Structure 1
């Protein structure tokens, strides 16, 4: 697509504007979890690249993951919002994540493929859903661990 770089930049930048509606306390509380998840996603992206789970023909620069705009845009900011409204309500957290991840996997991924941004190679959409589900547990588990061990909060 002709304007792919512009669309990718918009996708990465626009979610950041929503942070003005997030209070500082919530931002500080969930920043460790969202940062952990972003770093986790970078390592996962490297693994996925080697195992050819998916392919990003779009390159920011050589040796830079094509999914960085997704990681530091909607995934990073989305983690704040999902945690803000669902943390300590695990069933709701799980439901929201399954809905958001399914929307991405079964709808948005097809749009990205049409644009030439990403395509699945060795993973089916169902397998990608399982990968997302695993990450759902990792993020929640890390946030619980951080709250109990580092912050000393056990509410």
Structure 2
């Protein structure tokens, strides 16, 4: 059952992207991939410094450091959806991220721990992890602002 849940977390979220216009997916995929890189680095640091371990979420045997189903599946897609509905509305974006990150760490994560999907080994208080997640959210928001500016279509001058 655990493997079915983990594979579902990796694959099923991508099906929800079919509900979006491809322009929207194309617009927000870079920020979602950037967040994936940030999370990958954070999990590497957590492993190195002993902040937490994610031993229960392995799909392949070699993915003991980073929970592949979550980081490369569900979370990547969630970033796209959150940006779709909240980008350019910073306070709404921040509120949604606080609610999602807090809800995940205080409600979903403990349930996943009881199911054996994630470990409960952590040296950081939950609030510190939530704060880290919120700071990542602010970083990627700034990245998307920059990304939108860089890829703005230049205005074509018309001769009268």
Long gaps (5+) in structure 1: none
Q: Distance in 2 between matches of 1:142 and 1:19?
A: 21
Select 2:35's aligned residue among 37, 44, 47. Answer: 37
User: CA deviation digits over 1:61-105, x for unaligned, max 9?
Assistant: 235534111011211000000000000000100011111111101
Find the structure with the greater CA-based Rg. 2
Which residue of 2 is the match for residue 133 of structure 1? 134
Which residue of 2 is the match for residue 73 of structure 1? 73
Q: Is the 8 A contact 2:53 2:65 kept in 1?
A: no
Q: Is the 8 A contact 2:44 2:66 kept in 1?
A: no
Deviation at 1:44, TM superposition (A): 1.1
In terms of mean alpha carbon deviation, does 61-70 or 91-100 score higher? 61-70
Long gaps (5+) in structure 2: 154-160
Q: Is the 8 A contact 1:9 1:69 kept in 2?
A: yes
Alignment root-mean-square deviation, CA: 1.7
Counting matched residue pairs gives: 151
Q: Is the 8 A contact 1:57 1:116 kept in 2?
A: no
- 1:98-117 matches, cutoff 5 A: 98-117=98-117
Deviation at 1:134, TM superposition (A): 0.7
Deviation at 1:124, TM superposition (A): 1.1
Which residue of 2 is the match for residue 88 of structure 1? 88
